[in-house]
């Protein structure tokens, strides 16, 4: 076998939608805070145990902005607002605790802690809205206090809980917590939030990680540039009237670069296109804004090069010299290096390895990387295997969260003389692309198309609303009647509504989970008209989506209280 080193790019994408309802100045969901407490800092600091291992982190600007809001203003999500003294809780707040303070994976997390599991069983193990009312009589004041502590405790990283004497004491104690202990827990949680940005900055300065950015509010850039580019991968797709505001796409990139400069004292080199959605126009724009590389999915590479990635029955790539190298994309007179992730290996981390122990999963991944080396044979080029995926959503499904898997994986990489984990920019500096792509395919990691965000009746309705609001801004700008500051605020709400998460959920996910996103989308557009001093179209006050067969309709404003998007575990 060749003694050449195989290079590995581990790219963790850390993103949260923009949850802030500016009308009420409240986050409709708590996932920025909770994933920051459990995942974001620890995902970076775990690498310090393995100086030989490097990784790349995409931190979305919408995530970073919301982190800063939490640190500046504190209790801005409803989950925090019910952290008052347990004896002062109103009945509605008790119902909220019983409804939402089990919002984490049940079997892999809650069932590990006997009293927390007991509280869940006493609640009835229900997630449906309004189903907890009858459980109120089964809980006393101390139970609510214990529930407040347990929920926030399990949303702290398990390795941190084990290493921190106070947190490990809470786990061992298990129940009958005090208000003082609860307050100390929350103080430590916010300490972790405060370290997320500085920790990434420090590790980047030390050379162990690379931090990259993405479009500010996470829009699908090809669709902002021209929504009809969705027809390239999906001819005949039913589309709404054409949305074509390349200036919005460019501004979302500029804002991201500006934020990155402010936080990290230098411009970003790499760029994660939201949902790995690319087009020739997108790549041209990124190059024009000074970005030095970007990333997409192997399906886009296949479509661009008119090739297939062949795998054997075990999933090992049989033509690895195609997938595991950077490419130079040439379009509109500019060139930009692009790397393409191994879709199947990335999905193993995201969806498959949760069914193994962390050690077994890490050993399987190391083995598969060695199979890549074996299949490359004596090829003299240096090759790069790209593992790229969400850096937060998989871990509560793992038996030991991320801890066991990442420690064993990084330990295996550090000890292996033939595998070397590198940052993307470091690899590209020494190994510029040798192969050219002159016709980059348009599409995303989802079925190498854009149909997850456009093309159904309800998705198209959202695009119609966005187009009408955007054209209203354009007209008022041309008329010159609205003060510049008001125009800027109107545009900012347009940019928020352009985020990919709204159309991702609509017509793709269950109604009850989708309704808050769709309601927040309309709220952003309502703010556009109010900033312009124009009448708000009546349709923006009416839900676009309706419950499907067997789904319960929201009986109140979906923004009146958060909803769990972390599936629990139910008995058959």
**Residue 21: other Cβ atoms inside 10 A:** 18
Amino acid 74: pLDDT: 74
Contacting residues for 236 by C-beta, under 8 A, at least 6 apart: none
**Res. 73 pLDDT band, cuts 50 70 90:** confident
Question: Highest mean pLDDT: which of 1-15, 284-298, 545-559?
Answer: 284-298
Bridge partners, 336 (sequence order): 329
> Which of 128, 161, 214, 106 minimizes the C-alpha distance to 563?
128
Residues 382 and 5: their CA atoms lie apart, in Å, by 8
Residues 154 and 110: their CA atoms lie apart, in Å, by 8
Predicted confidence (pLDDT) at residue 569 exceeds the cutoff of 50: no
Residues 14 and 12: their CA atoms lie apart, in Å, by 6
484: its two tokens: 């510049």
Amino acid 420: pLDDT: 98
Stated pTM of the model = 0.97
Q: What is the mean pLDDT of residues 183-192?
A: 98
Percent of the chain residues topping a pLDDT of 70: 97
454-480 pLDDT tens trace: 999 999 999 999 999 999 999 999 999
DSSP result, 27-53 = ES--HHHHHIIIIIHHHHHGGGG-TT-
Contacting residues for 131 by C-beta, under 8 A, at least 6 apart: 99, 124
Amino acid 259: pLDDT: 98
511-566 pLDDT tens trace: 988 999 999 999 999 999 999 999 999 999 999 999 988 887 876 678 766 555 55
CA angle 554, 557, 562 (to 5 degrees): 85
**Which own/partner contact pairs does 321-324 have at CB distance under 8 Å and 24+ positions apart?**
321/376, 321/379, 321/381, 321/383, 323/298, 324/6, 324/372, 324/376, 324/383, 324/384, 324/385, 324/386
Contacting residues for 90 by C-beta, under 8 A, at least 6 apart: none
**Res. 568 pLDDT band, cuts 50 70 90:** very low
3-state secondary structure string across 543-561: CCCCCCCCCCCCCCCHHHC
State CA 128 to chain mean position distance: 25
**Res. 22 pLDDT band, cuts 50 70 90:** confident
Q: What is the mean pLDDT of residues 197-211?
A: 98
Question: Cβ distance 109 to 34 under 8 Å?
Answer: no
> Which of 33, 46, 58 minimizes the C-alpha distance to 192?
33
> Which of 360, 398, 505 minimizes the C-alpha distance to 105?
398
156-168 pLDDT tens trace: 999 999 999 999 9
Give the H or E element holding residue 523: helix 511-532
Q: Which residues of 166-188 are buried (b: 16+ CB within 10 A; e: fewer)?
A: ebeebbeeebebeeebbeebbeb
How high does pLDDT run on average in the chain? Answer: 95
Sign of CA dihedral 545, 550, 552, 558: negative
Amino acid 570: pLDDT: 37
**Res. 4 pLDDT band, cuts 50 70 90:** very high
Residues 17 and 38: their CA atoms lie apart, in Å, by 17
Amino acid 567: pLDDT: 46
Three-state secondary-structure class, residue 438: coil
> CA torsion, points 165, 169, 172, 176, in degrees to nearest 10?
-170
Bridge partners, 341 (sequence order): 297
> Which of 149, 147, 141, 140 minimizes the C-alpha distance to 182?
149
Amino acid 233: pLDDT: 98
Amino acid 550: pLDDT: 83
Residues 431 and 479: their CA atoms lie apart, in Å, by 52
Q: What is the mean pLDDT of residues 227-250?
A: 98
Residues 44 and 206: their CA atoms lie apart, in Å, by 12
**Residue 447: other Cβ atoms inside 10 A:** 12
Amino acid 95: pLDDT: 94
312-355 pLDDT tens trace: 999 999 999 999 999 999 999 999 999 999 999 999 999 999 99
């Amino acid at each position: 076998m060749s003694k050449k080193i195989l290079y590995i790019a581990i790219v963790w994408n850390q993103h949260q939608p923009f949850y802030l309802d500016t009308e009420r100045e409240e986050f409709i969901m708590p996932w920025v805070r909770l994933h920051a407490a459990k995942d974001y800092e620890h995902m970076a600091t775990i690498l310090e145990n393995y100086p030989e291992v490097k990784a790349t982190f995409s931190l979305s600007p919408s995530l970073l902005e919301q982190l800063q809001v939490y640190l500046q203003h504190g209790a801005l999500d409803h989950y925090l607002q019910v952290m008052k003294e347990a004896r002062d809780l109103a009945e509605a707040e008790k119902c909220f605790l019983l409804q939402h303070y089990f919002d984490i994976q049940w079997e892999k997390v809650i069932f590990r802690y006997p009293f927390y599991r007991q509280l869940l069983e006493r609640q009835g193990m229900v997630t449906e809205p309004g189903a907890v009312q009858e459980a109120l009589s089964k809980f006393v004041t101390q139970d609510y206090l214990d529930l407040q502590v347990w929920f926030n405790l399990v949303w702290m990283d398990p390795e941190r809980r084990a290493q921190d004497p106070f947190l490990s004491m809470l786990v061992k104690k298990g129940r009958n917590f005090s208000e003082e202990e609860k307050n100390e827990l929350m103080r430590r949680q916010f300490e972790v939030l405060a370290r997320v940005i500085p920790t990434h900055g420090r590790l980047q300065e030390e050379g162990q990680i690379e931090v990259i950015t993405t479009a500010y509010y996470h829009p699908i850039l090809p669709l902002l540039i021209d929504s009809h580019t969705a027809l390239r991968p999906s001819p005949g797709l039913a589309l709404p009237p054409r949305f074509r505001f390349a200036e919005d796409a460019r501004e979302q990139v500029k804002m991201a670069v500006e934020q990155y400069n402010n936080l990290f004292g230098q411009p970003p080199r790499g760029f994660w296109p939201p949902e790995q959605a690319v087009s020739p126009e997108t790549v041209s724009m990124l190059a024009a804004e000074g970005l030095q590389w970007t990333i997409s999915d192997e399906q886009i590479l296949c479509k661009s090069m008119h090739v297939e990635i062949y795998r054997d029955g075990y999933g090992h790539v049989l033509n690895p010299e195609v997938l595991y190298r950077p490419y130079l994309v040439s379009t509109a007179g500019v060139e930009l290096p692009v790397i393409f992730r191994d879709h199947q290996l990335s999905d193993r981390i995201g969806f498959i390895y949760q069914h193994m122990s962390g050690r077994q999963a890490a050993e399987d991944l190391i083995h598969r990387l060695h199979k890549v080396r074996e299949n490359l044979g004596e090829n003299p080029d240096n090759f790069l295997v790209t593992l790229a995926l969400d850096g937060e959503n998989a871990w509560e499904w793992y038996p030991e969260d991320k801890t066991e898997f990442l420690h064993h994986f990084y330990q295996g990489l550090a000890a292996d003389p033939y595998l070397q984990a590198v940052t993307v920019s470091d690899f590209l500096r020494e190994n510029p692309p040798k192969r050219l792509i002159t016709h980059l395919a348009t599409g995303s990691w989802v079925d190498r198309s854009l149909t997850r965000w456009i093309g159904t009746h309800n998705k198209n309705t959202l695009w119609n609303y966005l187009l009408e609001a955007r054209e209203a801004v354009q007209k008022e700008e041309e008329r010159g009647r609205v003060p510049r500051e008001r125009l800027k605020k109107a545009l900012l709400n347009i940019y928020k509504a352009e985020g990919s998460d709204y159309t991702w959920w609509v017509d793709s996910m269950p109604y009850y989970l989708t309704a808050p996103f769709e309601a927040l989308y309309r709220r952003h557009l309502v703010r556009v008209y109010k900033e312009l001093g124009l009448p708000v179209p009546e349709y923006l006050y009416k839900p676009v989506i309706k419950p499907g067969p067997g789904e319960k309709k929201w009986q109140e404003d979906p923004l009146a209280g958060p909803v769990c998007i972390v599936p629990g575990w139910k008995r058959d």
